[in-house]
Chain A
Amino acid sequence: MSAYGKYVVKKFFWYFVTLIVAIALNFLLPRMIEGNPVSVIVAQMTQGMTESDTIKRVYDTFAAEFGIDQPLHVQFFIYVKNLLTGNWGTSFGLYPKPVTEILASAIPWTIGLQLPAILVGWIIGNVLGAVAAYRKGVFDKVIFPVALFVNSIPFFTLAIIMLYAFALTLKWFPMHGGYDYQMIPSLSWEFIGSVLRHHTLPFLSIVLVTIGGQAIGMREMSIYELNSDYVLYSKLLGIRDSRIARYVFRNAMLPQITGLALSIGTMVGGSLICEIVFSYPGIGTWMFTAIRQLDYPLISGCTLLIALAVLLANFTIDLIYGWIDPRIKAAQMEDQ
């Protein structure tokens, strides 16, 4: 097998181990509640319920799902088997809706909000940062402080200010939700228009923050690269500035690509605050609701999804980075 193949296998192994650990934690945490987790959960859920038959039925459902009459390791295998067969448990809060169904309905909203926002913010931020570093002068004096300012505001503050200014005061955009609640989701123009109108404000808030962070990072990296020896050498050999700028920005981009991949990976978890502020029907809002309702299956469903996304993003970076940067490829090979 080639050195790169070995590297991939080794990396895969370690990510697999990490995944097992993440699953084990997901499995253990609800079971660390004092006493019998199922009765605690069921007791909370059935507060106010008087019909003992109903309580018994709820209890039995969860007891069977958790397999709490079995020893711990058997329970773990049942849990893993359930995960693999797509049975991620039943939500307490929205009983008897399965967790997978809730997650499946939320994922498109989260991805639809975050992915375009991160990409747009990333591209604009990097261009601005590069321009600030390269053109210096007025560009740098304007772009850098503004980026720093935007980046320094805590995200929830920014989101609330935007909500207050553009939705509450100016009434340009709706206050909350993913679409108008009077509508029934369909593929009509009216519905799509409503989705877009609700999408704009949270989208802009994420774009703005992403631009800030990316512009600062790109500016620093570009300045560093512009001062490196190869720039001077290329200049003295008569290579035109536009080409040297290409060298510099390609090299300055490398760490930014990691940043992009990471923020796409943490997208699901990172959307929490944005979705809460704008009451957007994505994973973040569901997770927040689940935490408030102590909806353990839904919480572990969300955390497992986040863990999966982060691991997948990191694994992808590890695989593709060697192709983008020969220095990292060399380091990868040396490990073998």
Chain B
Amino acid sequence: MTLGKEQLRSRVSGREISYIPQAAMNALNPTLRIIRFIEDIMKEHRPELSRKQVWELAVERFETLNLSARVLESYPNELSGGMKQRTVIAISTILNPKVLIADEPTSALDVTSQKAVIKLLKHLLEKGYIQSLVFITHELPLLYHVTDDIMVMYAGEIVERGTAEQMIFDPIHPYTKKLMGSIIVPEEGMRGHKLAAIPGTPPNLKTVPEGCRFADRCTYAQSECRQGRIELQTFQDRSYRCIVPADTLREWYAHEDE
């Protein structure tokens, strides 16, 4: 199915697929009251609603998300950071989208606000306001608590995909493996533990190297890694992008851990 730009805008954006931006601080028009912005969204997607109906709908939704109706009459600069973030989430989900893409929704927040945001997102899922959630982040421990499946991307490509459990405790792709090594578990003996960094930097995407994009930084790289396009391999119920068989990789990892 192909959609024109205009159809995409009126049928999908905000309605089927909605979005929570990374910087919620600046995501709201500073000179528009929150309710005016919601009215504008409704004019696009639910033009049959009157202003009063929009108001009632917004108040109801905001109250289920523990935001007072007063927020609706406010300008963005009158809200605190955490409130702005929750307001943005409430606005993004007001049309009950099927998919909500959350682009690092917690990255600029303190831990308490992070927790509130995560709770809010879970609440939205439980209530059925949103049906699924794509959570983009680099905070792996957080991800484990939020998601069912994890997809790891490197240099613009998906390198591995599996359930949260599999990805955290049994990574296959060398990049995922290294990435999971960055998780710190605050327990005894961790103070002396050195975190291993991956040497080098990600490739410049203007000139993508041939072959595996991770090859330059991978400790297991062979000459075949740099030839042709590396396709996603399926292994049981998961997939990964590496030419080495999953069992061999696992053996290497086991050997390395000793």
Contact = CB atoms under 8 A, between A and B. Distances in A.
A314 interface: no
Contact of A235 (B13, B77, B88, B91): B13
Given A326-B77, A326-B78, A330-B77, A237 B13 contact: yes
A71 interface: no
B219 to A, nearest CB: 39
A83 B91 CA distance: 59
Residue in A230, A250, A251, A327 with the greatest tally of chain B CB atoms within 10 Å: A230
A157 B179 CA distance: 66
A324 B21 CA distance: 27
Contact of A238 (B29, B30, B41): B41
B10 A229 contact: no
B78 A330 contact: yes
A214 to B, nearest CB: 20
B18 interface: yes
A238 B15 contact: yes
Contacts of A234: 29, 37, 40
Given A233-B21, A326-B75, A238 B28 contact: no
A249 to B, nearest CB: 11
Contacts of B88: 233
Given A238-B13, A240-B44, A327-B30, A229 B77 contact: no
B26 interface: yes
Contacts of A230: 26-30
A232 interface: yes
Main secondary structure of the interface of A (DSSP, over half): helix
Given A232-B21, A233-B21, A247-B32, A239 B40 contact: yes
A325 B26 CA distance: 16
Contacts of B9: 235, 238, 240
Interface in A211-252: 228-230, 232-240, 243, 247, 250-251
B26 A236 contact: no
Nearest to B18: A237
Nearest to A241: B9
Contacts of A330: 75, 77-78
B185 to A, nearest CB: 35
A230 B23 CA distance: 9
A225 B9 CA distance: 21
A330 B77 CA distance: 8
B98 to A, nearest CB: 14
B91 to A, nearest CB: 7
Contacts of B21: 229, 232-233, 236
B226 interface: no
Interface in A292-328: 324-327
Contacts of B91: 237
B41 A228 contact: no
Interface string B16-28: 0011010100111
B250 interface: no
B92 interface: yes
Contacts of B40: 234, 239, 243
Given A229-B21, A233-B21, A326-B78, A239 B30 contact: no
Closest 7 CB pairs of A and B: A238-B13, A237-B14, A238-B14, A326-B75, A229-B26, A233-B27, A236-B19
Interface of B: 9-10, 12-15, 18-19, 21, 23, 26-32, 37, 40-41, 44-45, 75, 77-78, 88, 91-92
19 contacts: A229-B23, A230-B28, A233-B27, A234-B29, A234-B37, A235-B9, A236-B19, A238-B14, A238-B15, A239-B40, A239-B41, A240-B9, A240-B10, A251-B29, A325-B31, A327-B75, A330-B75, A330-B77, A330-B78
Given A250-B31, A325-B30, 18 more contacts: A229-B27, A230-B27, A230-B30, A233-B27, A234-B29, A235-B13, A236-B18, A237-B13, A237-B14, A238-B15, A239-B14, A251-B31, A254-B31, A325-B31, A326-B31, A326-B75, A327-B75, A330-B75
Interface of A: 228-230, 232-240, 243, 247, 250-251, 254, 324-327, 330
